[in-house]
Amino acid sequence: MAPNTTRSNDRPDAPSARRINATAKLLAGHPDDVMRVLGKLGRAELANVAEAARQIQQERAIAAGDLDQIVARAFETGFGGDGLGLLPWIEGDVMVCPGAIVAKSKANHRCRFISVDDIWIWDSPRLVREDKRSNPGSDEGFRAIGLIGVVDGTAIDVVSGRARRNLHSVDRVVSYEVRRGELIEVSQRDVAAARGHRSA
């Protein structure tokens, strides 16, 4: 029987499905073998591989699961008794990121939000979806649930702060990194003391 030489797409120079499957099997093997393969690549080629991996992880996050259900459940369980968001967590192929402002007045509030690779989550290109709701009860402000794709190497900062007389300050930062699909706490990163955020 003749070997299967079907091409993976319409490019005349595209590798056959057999070569692609063999490469995928090698990359899914022992980490030492993966390192040997990637070690043969130049800087630009490594950057292409990393960007392709991020894109695939992002696409899988968007396609995975029932995002409506994840968001609804997160609004029920993702906030503490103080009204602020809990720490982020991974659910399937998405990371769930609660955030909130709890305010007694426009000039004074407590808040907790998440930055992704040093960009606030609402401005991040990794953002898959964000939903906002008003705070329950008499407190001003809002609660938000952001979903991002689980991409290895992503840096996450959970920034807790407060504003007094319209002057904003950071109280605490908890920093994480995504490693092999898990959220790992890492050493604290430097964060500007007067880091601002949106108010609505």
What's the whole-model pTM score? 0.69
Question: Which tens digits make up the pLDDT trace of 72-106?
Answer: 999 999 999 999 999 999 998 899 999 999 998 87
**The tokens 């992503």 sit on which residue?**
154
- Residues β-bridged to residue 143: 100, 133
> Do 57 and 102 fall into the same domain?
no
Q: How far apart, in Å, are the Cα atoms of 74 and each of 59, 64, 158, 188?
A: 21, 16, 16, 26
Question: Which tens digits make up the pLDDT trace of 53-70?
Answer: 767 766 776 676 688 999
Counting the structural domains of the chain, the total is 2
> Do 97 and 153 fall into the same domain?
yes
SS3 85: strand
Using an 8 Å Cβ cutoff, are 105 and 84 in contact?
Answer: no
Using an 8 Å Cβ cutoff, are 99 and 115 in contact?
Answer: no
Query: Is 60 or 45 the better-scoring residue by pLDDT?
Result: 45
- For 46, the domain range is 17-63
Residue 48 within a domain: yes
Burial class (CB in 10 A: 0-12, 13-18, 19+), 101: buried
> Do 84 and 40 fall into the same domain?
no
